[in-house]
Every structure is written in structure tokens, then in C-alpha cells.
Amino acid sequence: MVLPAKIFEVKEEADLGLIAMKLKDFREEEPYQTEKGETMNLRKEILDLKLKEDSVSGIFSVDFVRRRYYRRKLVEAPVTEEAPFWIRRFNGRTFVIVLAPSVARGVKKLLTNHVANKLSEILFIKRHAIVEVKISHETLRKLHESNPEATKLVWFDDVDIPGVEKLCLAGSALADTTLYRDYLEHGKIWYVVFEAQNRGIVVGITRSCVVTLFSKSTVDEFINYILEDLLTLIE
């Protein structure tokens, strides 16, 4: 099971009750003309909205047209993608977690970013009120080195070796290897895949707060891990 999510932050002051009220019954439709000259309506809407004491959750549903060739002809088919989201207050800050459970690989990042931008427009009538967040290189390093036996993979970026953009190490006890310490001198940790042993799940985390679940688990368990364990790591 591969389940990606991305974490954002709301930079404007907002009450959760007011957020829920603004998101309730949101729906937009726009016409789309196919190659055959037919017109269909593509819809964006928020479904299953729920307000709790410290969070708002719902599903952002968006239609788009997928194009593919079938027997040398271009076929256009409407597709609906659904991205569950959670807006959660934590330590005086408001975070947004967007899930992309069933989306094609190349669309996952586009969808999560699109949802964050659209939520920003609905809530604050502008983009950029909901922004990306970061986990530092130092934090990812501590996360790995606190239990290196649990680490499966480490990617480095910002590499100062000419002609090399990224470096990767895989295997157990990476913190004890000469290569690991050498790579630390030439780059920063961008991505770590490790087993969260207290949860019994394998996850990958990037500095840009993209979190991917690689093991069998429920969506609720994955989101609880993000809410309870990862939000504390964000700068």
C-alpha cells in the first residue's frame, strides 16, 4: 500500500467554525468542450464535511478529463479524483493535511497543491494564505540517527559534488557507515524512509512535508501518526 499525503499551514487567523461554514456546500462547475465538440460540466466540490472540537475534515472532489489513445484514436474520458483533507489546530498553529489515495503517480503532487490553493481561495479569497511547510535537514538527521536500524533509505540533495544532484544510501545501520558521514559533508538529507516502530508502519518523509505510507495500515492510523507524531517536527 502506497499512500501519499502533504502537509500545509494556514497563515491567516481563522476560527474552525468559520472555516467549516465557508467550506459547507462548496461547489463549482465549468464547461469543457471535447475534441468531438461535445460539452460536459466538470465539477469541484467538498463532500462529507465534518467539524470537531480541534479539526475540520472533508473530501475535495474534482473532475478532469483524461486523454488516451485507443486504436489510433484519441479518447477523452471524465474522471473524478477525491482527496480527503484535515484542517487541524496544533500548538497555536493551523495545519492542513491533504491525502491523494488513488491518484495516478504524476498527478499526486499537482492534486495536493491544487487542493491547498483552492481551500485558500474559498476561505480567504486569495491564494498563498495556505502555504507549504518544512522539516529541517537537522531534524531528519536526528530522526534517522536516533534509531538507524529502522531506516530503510536516505536521499541527499543540495550536493556540492560537481555533476551530482542527489545521492542515495540504502541498508541497515546507515549512521555507522563511512559513506553516510561522507555524504553528510557534501549534501543535506532530503528524504528518509524508516519504520515508525511505535506505530508498526513504514513511512517516507521529505523536507517539504510529503509523507508516504508504504506498509499496510488504515487511513485513520496514518493520519493519526501525522497529527500526533509529525506535526511536532515542522519548523
- CATH code of the domain containing 110: 3.30.530
Vertex 79, ends 76 and 84: CA angle to 5°? 160
The arithmetic mean of pLDDT across residues 60-66, rounded, is 91
With a cut of 70, say whether residue 104 has pLDDT above it.
no
Residues 113 and 116: their CA atoms lie apart, in Å, by 5
With a cut of 80, say whether residue 3 has pLDDT above it.
yes
Q: What range does the domain containing 152 cover?
A: 137-207
pLDDT of 214 = 93
In a domain, 224, yes or no: no
The arithmetic mean of pLDDT across residues 193-222, rounded, is 92
With a cut of 60, say whether residue 186 has pLDDT above it.
yes
* Same structural domain, 150 and 120: no
Span 13-38, pLDDT tens digits = 889 999 999 999 899 999 998 877 88
In a domain, 221, yes or no: no
Span 37-46, pLDDT tens digits = 888 899 999 9
3-state secondary structure of 166: coil
In a domain, 220, yes or no: no
Grid cell digits, residue 84:
480527503
pLDDT of 68 = 85
Q: What is the mean pLDDT of the chain?
A: 90
pLDDT of 65 = 87
In a domain, 235, yes or no: no
- From residue 86, alpha-carbon distances to 2, 10, 115, 155 in Å are 19, 12, 11, 28
* Same structural domain, 8 and 80: yes
In a domain, 126, yes or no: yes
Q: Give the H/E segment covering residue 107.
A: none
* Same structural domain, 8 and 107: yes
* Same structural domain, 83 and 56: yes
In a domain, 90, yes or no: yes
pTM of the model: 0.90
- DSSP strand E in the chain: where? 3-10, 27-33, 39-51, 55-70, 73-90, 93-99, 130-132, 151-157, 167-170, 188-196, 201-206, 210-213
Residue 108: pLDDT band (50, 70, 90) is low
* Same structural domain, 123 and 162: no
Residue 221: pLDDT band (50, 70, 90) is very high
* Same structural domain, 33 and 91: yes
- From residue 20, alpha-carbon distances to 39, 54, 83, 114, 180 in Å are 33, 12, 17, 19, 46
In a domain, 232, yes or no: no
* Same structural domain, 126 and 168: no
pLDDT of 129 = 96
68: left (phi over 0), alpha (psi -120 to 50) or beta: beta
Burial of 48 (0-12, 13-18, 19+ CB in 10 A): exposed
* Same structural domain, 84 and 141: no
With a cut of 60, say whether residue 103 has pLDDT above it.
no
In a domain, 71, yes or no: yes
Residues 57 and 18: their CA atoms lie apart, in Å, by 13
Residues 122 and 107: their CA atoms lie apart, in Å, by 22
* Same structural domain, 34 and 96: yes
The arithmetic mean of pLDDT across residues 185-197, rounded, is 93
Q: How many domains does the chain have?
A: 2
Burial of 233 (0-12, 13-18, 19+ CB in 10 A): middle
pLDDT of 149 = 86
The arithmetic mean of pLDDT across residues 80-106, rounded, is 85
The arithmetic mean of pLDDT across residues 190-200, rounded, is 91
User: Does residue 75 or residue 225 have the better pLDDT?
Assistant: 225
Look at residues 114, 116, 132, 133 and name the one whose alpha carbon lies nearest to residue 124: 116
Q: Give the H/E segment covering residue 197.
A: none
* Same structural domain, 108 and 145: no
* Same structural domain, 147 and 128: no
Residues 130 and 120: their CA atoms lie apart, in Å, by 6
